[in-house]
Structure 1
Amino acid sequence: MLTYMRPILLATLVAGGLIAADKYPSPRFADPRRTERLEAALPRIDAIMRAYAGEKKIPGMVWGVVIDNRLAHVGAFGVRDRVSNAPVTNGTAFRIASMTKSFTALAVLKLRDEGKLSLDDAVAKWIPQFARMELPTRDTPPLSIRQLLSHSAGFPEDNPWGDRQLSATDAKLDEWLNAGIPFSTPPGTRYEYSNYAFGLLGRVVTKAAGMPYEKYVRQEILSKLHMDETTFEFSDVPAARRATGYRLKPDGTYQEEPPLPHGVFGSMGGLLTTATDLGKYVAFHLSAWPARDDVDTGPVRRSSVREMAHLWTPANLTARSAAGVLQASEAGYGFGLRVSSDCRFAHIVGHGGGLPGFGSYMAWLPEYGVGMFAMATLTYSGPAEPISQAWDEMVKTGALRKRELPPTPLQTLMRDHILNLWKHWDDAEANSIASGNLFLDEPIEQRRMEIARLKEEVGECSRAGSVLPENWLRGQFNMNCANGAVGVFFTLAPTQPPAVQHLAFQKLASEDVRIGAPTGLPAGVACTQ
């Protein structure tokens, strides 16, 4: 038993290197067969995607599954055009429309990281017309780049109009800007999707980078991700690799949609890409998780990629899914990406795309290391619904689990001290690990008595599991006892060394406890009735 516990505890921390070494471990996947088990869902996923394409009468569609930063599978349906009837392949180029917005956001964040702009810069710094633009109220602050990125600039939703402006020229944009922009809501107060905002971001990138937006994206993002089959202009793609877009008319026949030429609004929806390249792109985003010490090797910092996937502008809270299933969800916008959570997954990131002739969707689950995308040759046919169903198929394999955070050495040390207190309470040892509030919130005598009462109720405890961290400073461990189980929950304070600010012992129903394994719902369990 330790006598002078505070000095010995601190000495243990320092001598063992626990303060500096591995105090912030990264979460990791526990199942060595994870990829193999997830891939068992691929045939069912293919069936879902083909059924969707057939039901929606899509002429041609391609989809891909990314697992652990690798394009694990590509599936295809139909033809790239209805004249040659050549099949869709992983090398067929589709226009991905608004999925381009995430590339624009990457470009802005890269320029921010390089010190060439600030997200809080007034838009007027880069687009002079904003300096004399009429704002909706006198107390409206100058519009910022951050607001353009997060669809919170107060511009009106403009999908019908914006989808036809892809080929607009710089002169046309200047004409619009000189005339002013009507606002639908006070800037900075709510979400409203704006293609115009991302068209303006293209001009910001051009000014800040000192080169055309398209050149900067190609040079600083596409080339560094080896996305060699991705471009802004239809004419850059050989006819033998280019998908033709169609509109389904009321009489059931198809009308070919002429490709929209690239223009100043390309930054909101102009890219064309292939399954091979889009797989690289989704893998790049997934590679930003978890936060870790590895050297950054991508074109944009991992922390900036994660910043894109934060929900900056809440949009809606719904009780039912698109399919009508009772399933609560929250959604909003990050920077160039949609961000949502539902009863299955706490963090879903992605974006859809739709233009005359095309529909696309990409999404990934950062904490689970998986992503999917699909591109189709039918107007506004973005396949979000079958991708959501694909997640359910992965859940059924039992392998779609979040990375597990290993306990820190400090958490393990605290567990050992707490076990000592459970076995043989000692005031000195208790005080040695307690922060100043612990025994002010509940006197030490009362805690000692409560533990004695609980020990009498549960009987002899045979073994204790390892710490199950909630984060680096909070966790629990469970004990198997003769008459049930006990969960021990503790939280460490923001002090050096961290001390215990909250400690609770709780009897648990045996069926709720898995010693040495996390408690709670498995991945993908929906809140449905």
Structure 2
Amino acid sequence: MSELHHPNPMGTSKGQAVSSTGLRLSQCFDPIDELFSSFFEVHRVPGLVWGVVDQSGLLHVGSRGVPDPSRPDRLTEHHVFRIASMTKSFTAMCILLLRDRAKLSLDDPVQQWLPELKVRYRPHIEPSTLTIAQLLSMSSGLVEDDPWADRQLAMPESDFTALLATGIGLDLPPGSGFEYSNLGYAMLGLIAKRAAGHDLNVLAIEQILQPLQMHASTWNLQDVDATLLATGYRLNQGNWEIEALLDHGAFGAMGGLASSIKDLAQWVALHLGAWHQEPRLSVPWIKRSSLREMAQIHTAISRPNTTHPDLTAQGYGYGLTIAHHRLLGRIVGHSGGLPGYGSRMEWLTDYDIGLVTLANRTYTALSDVVRQGLTHLVETGLVGVTPLPVSEELRRVYEAIIATYQNPQNQAALREVALPSYFLDCDDDRRPPDFGTLRSTHGRLISTDPISAQGSLRGFWTMHCARGALTMHAMLGPGVPHKLQFLGVASEPTAPGNR
């Protein structure tokens, strides 16, 4: 087979926006489709499907190509692909579920659960305890192993335990730095089985997949309707060749799950909802705090080939990669690559938006196109930062500052909401503002914007005056009752205003 035939070259299917976010986004679905269609053409991918997601679920789906040349039907959100290392987020959630039920502790030594494990310490590495948390966060010291581990998916458990008993060598001291280890996640799969009393995939199906109605997701490809399974390909000297399917085995916890765009949209929506007080999608026994714990940097990544001028931090959480970006805020996600498949999911917690894409070509590199799509959504202003709720304490400070500006001679309201230390901090850079001077410079108050909360105890707002504007940054103290500890003022005396 010299070239995969695409019976419908543009083959783009479009979903219907189902939320207020989706209605705003509907005007930019065409550019997103064009972006992924261009990727499809340039990178010669047999089939590509993508979806835009918010915390309510799948907003839009597009596709190019076909699942298999012998089946000329167009790819849809229902077609199933191996998602490879995106599986790690499900494995990590299973471990946290067991932790939340006191079945294990993240501080447990790995050998407490895998007593057959023999860790071989090289002469320059001091022996130390290897923990479950270190496996989760890719700080175990196990060597990066993609070229080897991707072919071990079907390894029987008996062979896996024999491998552990023979001995595992370390590349770095445990806890000393980031190193991506599929073996570590295979070990987590066996730990989960022993802590739960049944296989990891059973735990995931019962506690995650079924409650989220991810009915197409499975570790056993034999369970997938043949008409919905995307066949995996590799490009060999210009010719498309089918990649043999790897069976589920002991390494399934690191990359064996298969899923669809429709199902993965539910998973991303669950994670987005963890950053809201009232999520639209939730599972009672999956704690939002545990989902947010997965999205914290537990091991920093700092390598020249992964730096970017707009990234202020990047690292690995629990089964997820995390980056902090000057424009996009917190970026959470994971890539996947196995023989026959490539995948990427990524979401922005500050903007309540995500993108998921699946391809049926070996190791399709999808990270850049997904990031470009999210950047487009933010740069065009079609998604905005989800506002935080304003606490009652912050609102009282807000009202007191407004009252004090309007009548600088009466500071009773300010003294009621401020800590004693607020009035003592007289350094030039931290001196409390003189409201009399501010009022004489800027004139009467015309209007005040709502508070933009940055947390429960800090926020900012702008006051529009007759001769310019003032932006107030308030920070409350940690003690109860929470009172003002610092007020910063950004003055724009020449800004245009109503005179």
TM-score (norm 2): 0.88
Q: Name the SS of the counterpart of 1:173 in structure 2.
A: helix
Moved more, 115-124 or 212-221: 212-221
Q: Distance in 1 between matches of 2:422 and 2:305?
A: 40
Q: Name the SS of the counterpart of 2:93 in structure 1.
A: helix
Q: CA deviation at 1:329?
A: 4.9
Q: CA deviation at 1:476?
A: 2.7
Equivalent residues of 2:126, 2:173 under 8 A apart: no
Equivalent residues of 1:320, 1:328 under 8 A apart: no
Equivalent residues of 1:38, 1:397 under 8 A apart: no
Equivalent residues of 1:150, 1:336 under 8 A apart: yes
* Residue 460 of structure 1 pairs with residue 444 of structure 2: yes
Pick from 325, 329, 332 the counterpart of residue 346 of structure 1.
Answer: 329
- The change in CA–CA distance for 1:100 and 1:511 in structure 2 (over 3 A counts) is farther
* Residue 302 of structure 1 pairs with residue 285 of structure 2: no
Pick from 496, 508, 511 the counterpart of residue 480 of structure 2.
Answer: 496
Equivalent residues of 1:149, 1:198 under 8 A apart: yes
Pick from 257, 261, 274 the counterpart of residue 271 of structure 1.
Answer: 257
Q: Which amino acid aligns with 2:269?
A: A
* Higher relative contact order structure (alpha carbons within 8 Å, sequence separation ≥ 6): 1
* Residue 176 of structure 1 pairs with residue 163 of structure 2: yes
* Cα RMSD, aligned residues only: 2.7
Q: CA deviation at 1:426?
A: 3.5
Q: Name the SS of the counterpart of 2:203 in structure 1.
A: helix
Pick from 331, 338, 349 the counterpart of residue 314 of structure 2.
Answer: 331
Q: Name the SS of the counterpart of 2:329 in structure 1.
A: coil
Correspondence 1:116-195 to 2 at 5 A:
116-130=103-117, 132-136=118-122, 139-195=126-182
Q: CA deviation at 1:305?
A: 1.1
Counterpart in the other structure of 2:60 = 73
Counterpart in the other structure of 2:85 = 98
Q: Name the SS of the counterpart of 1:316 in structure 2.
A: coil
Counterpart in the other structure of 1:212 = 199
Q: Distance in 1 between matches of 2:59 and 2:280?
A: 24
Equivalent residues of 1:100, 1:271 under 8 A apart: yes
- CA deviations on 1:200-237 (whole Å, 9 max, x unpaired) are 00100110000122222222221222211111122222
Q: Distance in 1 between matches of 2:48 and 2:339?
A: 15
- CA deviations on 1:186-211 (whole Å, 9 max, x unpaired) are 11010100000000001001100001
Number of residue pairs aligned between Structure 1 and Structure 2: 476
Correspondence 1:313-328 to 2 at 5 A:
313-316=299-302, 327-328=310-311
Q: Distance in 2 between matches of 1:366 and 1:228?
A: 26
Q: Distance in 1 between matches of 2:59 and 2:432?
A: 55
Counterpart in the other structure of 1:109 = 96
Unaligned 5+ residue runs, structure 1? 1-31, 515-529
Equivalent residues of 1:224, 1:298 under 8 A apart: no
Q: Distance in 1 between matches of 2:494 and 2:306?
A: 34
Q: Which amino acid aligns with 2:487?
A: L
Q: Name the SS of the counterpart of 1:347 in structure 2.
A: strand
Q: Name the SS of the counterpart of 1:225 in structure 2.
A: coil
Q: Name the SS of the counterpart of 2:301 in structure 1.
A: strand
Correspondence 1:325-474 to 2 at 5 A:
327-422=310-405, 423-426=407-410, 428-442=412-426, 450-474=434-458
Pick from 53, 62, 65 the counterpart of residue 49 of structure 2.
Answer: 62
Equivalent residues of 1:376, 1:382 under 8 A apart: no
- The change in CA–CA distance for 1:365 and 1:427 in structure 2 (over 3 A counts) is closer
- The change in CA–CA distance for 1:255 and 1:414 in structure 2 (over 3 A counts) is same
Q: CA deviation at 1:512?
A: 10
- The change in CA–CA distance for 1:369 and 1:464 in structure 2 (over 3 A counts) is closer
Equivalent residues of 2:471, 2:489 under 8 A apart: yes
Q: CA deviation at 1:313?
A: 0.8
Q: Distance in 2 between matches of 1:87 and 1:506?
A: 56
